[in-house]
Amino acid sequence: MGDRSRRLCVCEEEMMKNYNSNRYKSQTPNHIRDKKNNRNSCLSVFLIRSSPRNYGFCMATLFLFCLGSLFYQLNGGPPKILLEIRQYLGNSTFLDDHGPPLPRVLPFPSQVVYNRVGKCGSRTVVLLLRILSERQDFNLVASDIHNKTRLTKHEQADLMKNISNIPQPFLYTRHVHFLNFTRFGIEQPVYINIIRDPINRFLSNYFFRRFGDWRGEQNHMIRTPGMKNEERYLDISECILENYPECSNPRLFYIIPYFCGQHPRCREPGEWALERAKQNVLENFLLVGILEELEDVLLLLERFLPHFFKDVVSIYKSPEYRKLGNMTGTVRKHTPSLEALQVLYQRMQYEYDFYYFIRDQFHLMKKKIGLKSQSRPTRTPGFLQASQLKTEQPEEEEEEEEEEEEEAGEDNWLEHP
């Protein structure tokens, strides 16, 4: 049995060798060729794709991509052709891929309101602001409304809302009494203003309404067409001594309401309006200057609000600016009699109290930054010291007339220069 088993194993081995040998011998040349083709297929595809034509196409594409990237960096944005391709491929934008751009860094403060007082040099400042707004890139909105300083509650809300919607940084200026933005839930802007000696302001307005300025001999006829010749040529001393309405209270109570506000009591001469005006100055006004020291006012504005008033002093002193303002001086202005001035001064006690307060605050501010006043101020007008009443005024301005204000009509508040 053992020998038989061994013979069977040997026979099985010989049969397996014969089977394998016959299997390889049975393959045809075509089978062998197919195998070789399969092995060389990958190499053939690679050779086809890397032909000179396709290689040049890839290099050209890469070159255009690099060139477009270069234009993007040099011009601050992609070339127009790339934008057109992007638009063709889809509506995706730069914001979709990169998010919103960084917000503009605004100066502080970026909201300034100049509620200019009539006949206190505001035309001088507005002319400067028109030049500065172009140089310093801020929005200047200068309203031409001259006879609407007192507003209803609804008008106040509308005006403050419109002002707050001006693109920042902005400076808004108009003849209007102080507006309390926080009372209506709106962010309070920074206020600035300029006043002058009350009697000098009154004289300037009195003669401007009647005779205008050097810009045109007939412009006063346009502004006050209903004024009769008797009123136009009324002697100012007679107006004061005879107690005409134009030369009496409440018409003489003019400066304080610009700082007191829109409350009805702000238009009544008295301690209440005076104290409220002082409080608003301390709490809401960055600077209130005096026209008698205008150059120092401009210097402080340049120091406190450089984004708006940078180089304002040099512009103010330039010959080019002087040419713009030479024709704005009030004509036919003269000084009343000493008796009339004394009467006028007594009627304007509250106005002078406020004026001295502003002057003291202004000089204190000058002292803090190292500016010296030319002379020591007194609380007695010059005409009471046997000296002629005269204020150095750089340019007169076409300002608000002290007429009864119109209560009807739309407030066309947003008038750009």
Place of tokens 């006028």: 344
352-355: list long-range contacts, CB under 8 Å, 24+ apart. Answer: 352/198, 352/381, 353/274, 354/195, 354/255, 354/256, 354/259, 354/274, 354/277, 354/278, 355/195, 355/196, 355/197, 355/198, 355/255, 355/290
Q: Which of 31, 146, 154, 175 is catalytic?
A: 175
Record the tokens describing residue 55, joined without a space. 């290689």
Alpha carbon 135 to chain centroid, angstroms: 12
d(CA 400, CA 195): 14
Q: End-to-end distance of the chain based on CA atoms, in angstroms?
A: 127
Q: Is the dihedral of CA 182, 184, 190, 192 positive or negative?
A: negative
Residues 6 or more apart whose CB falls under 8 angstroms from that of 273 comprise 253, 256, 257, 260, 265, 266, 267, 350
Place of tokens 């120091």: 303
317: nearest Cα among 308, 327, 325: 325
Q: Is the dihedral of CA 167, 173, 176, 179 positive or negative?
A: positive
The DSSP element (H or E) to which 171 belongs, if any, is strand 170-173
190: nearest Cα among 268, 106, 292, 274: 106
∠ CA 177-180-184, rounded to 5°:
135
Q: Phi then psi for 79, rounded to 5 degrees?
A: -60, 160
Alpha carbon 148 to chain centroid, angstroms: 23
Asked if 291 contacts 396 with a C-beta cutoff of 8 angstroms, the reply is no
Record the tokens describing residue 91, joined without a space. 């509506």
Burial code of 191-214, b = ≥16 C-beta within 10 A, e = fewer?
bbbbbbbbbbbbbbbbbbbbbbbe
Neighbours of 173 (CB within 10 A): 21
175 is catalytic: yes
Residues 6 or more apart whose CB falls under 8 angstroms from that of 295 comprise 313, 316
Q: Which residues are catalytic?
A: 175
